[in-house]
Amino acid sequence: MKMHIEKNTVQETLMIPLFGRKLCTEQFPNLFRDDKAVGLINRIDYDFSALEKRAKSTAYRFGALEVAMRETDLMIEAKGYLAAHPNAALVNLGCGLDQTAENCDNGTCRIYNLDLPDVIAVRNTLLPESERIRNIAADLNDLAWFDAIDASNGVCFLAAGVFYYFKTEQIRRLLNAMAKRFPGGRLVFDAVGKRAVKVMLKTWVKEAGITSISDYFSVDSIETDVLPWMEHAAVSSRGYMLGYNDLKDPSVPGLFRLMAKVGDGLMKMQIVRMDFTE
């Protein structure tokens, strides 16, 4: 029996990124495949017609490519960590219905998916726990969730599209606390510059009555925006769109490659990697 998702609910917000991963798989199969997302959509009773209509636009298709590159980049870093720490924990922060950690599963790692309680309630129905997979209801700013992670054999944290909605002071506190608690671990997340954050958060900030977008986390340069406050970590970054793949694939139009250069350049779209020092 399919799970029904009502319009205008918290559950509906999970459909957009899920559909995006399905679209990525269909549009750019040589660059990205998430068959788990396709299978999950087939188990959901929801009217995707509006998203399917939007998917015909150039902007939406490029957005799908962005999703594909972000997920691929994070998986490359996670698999690299698992190659050296095969029994490590993979922790998907702000997971939604994303299965990036499961797509990196090497058969021996442990997987933790963290999100707010109402999201985890949906995930538990569609993607229940198993022997090596736990779904944890937690607010990332409540550091009590640290105690739920067994990092005895190493830990790699993934955060896709999460930190944009946090204030800089919250991110500073969270990341420094993670570095101190999980030495030898790795955190990989996507970030953009101030210009891009203003574009991304414009509607949400207006609706929430927030006047200072500058309070929200952005990274124009890790040298100026991260290293001065980040302790106990080696920090590096690579281009979000072109840092791991040149996109010279027949499925990618030339216009999209140009837009990718603008994204990595003008918008400072990047993947940030932190290796927590012992």
Strand partners, 137: 115
Residue 209, pLDDT score? 52
Q: Between helices 15-27 and 58-84, what is the axis angle to 10°?
A: 90
Strand duo 233-239 + 270-276: pairing: antiparallel
Where does the pLDDT of residue 195 fall: very low under 50, low under 70, confident under 90, or very high at 90 and above?
confident
Burial of 260 (C-beta count, 10 Å sphere; 0-12/13-18/19+): buried
Where does the pLDDT of residue 13 fall: very low under 50, low under 70, confident under 90, or very high at 90 and above?
confident
Residue 8, pLDDT score? 82
Cα distance from N-terminal residue to C-terminal residue, the chain: 49
Number of neighbours of residue 8 by Cβ within 10 angstroms = 7
Where does the pLDDT of residue 212 fall: very low under 50, low under 70, confident under 90, or very high at 90 and above?
low
Strand duo 44-45 + 270-276: pairing: unpaired
Domains of the chain: 84-276 (3.40.50.150)
Residue 198, pLDDT score? 77
Q: How far apart are CA 144 and CA 133, in angstroms?
A: 19
Rounded to 5 degrees, what angle do the CA atoms 275, 171, 168 make?
130
Q: DSSP alpha helices (H): ranges in the chain?
A: 10-13, 15-27, 35-41, 49-54, 58-84, 100-103, 117-126, 168-181, 194-208, 222-225, 254-265
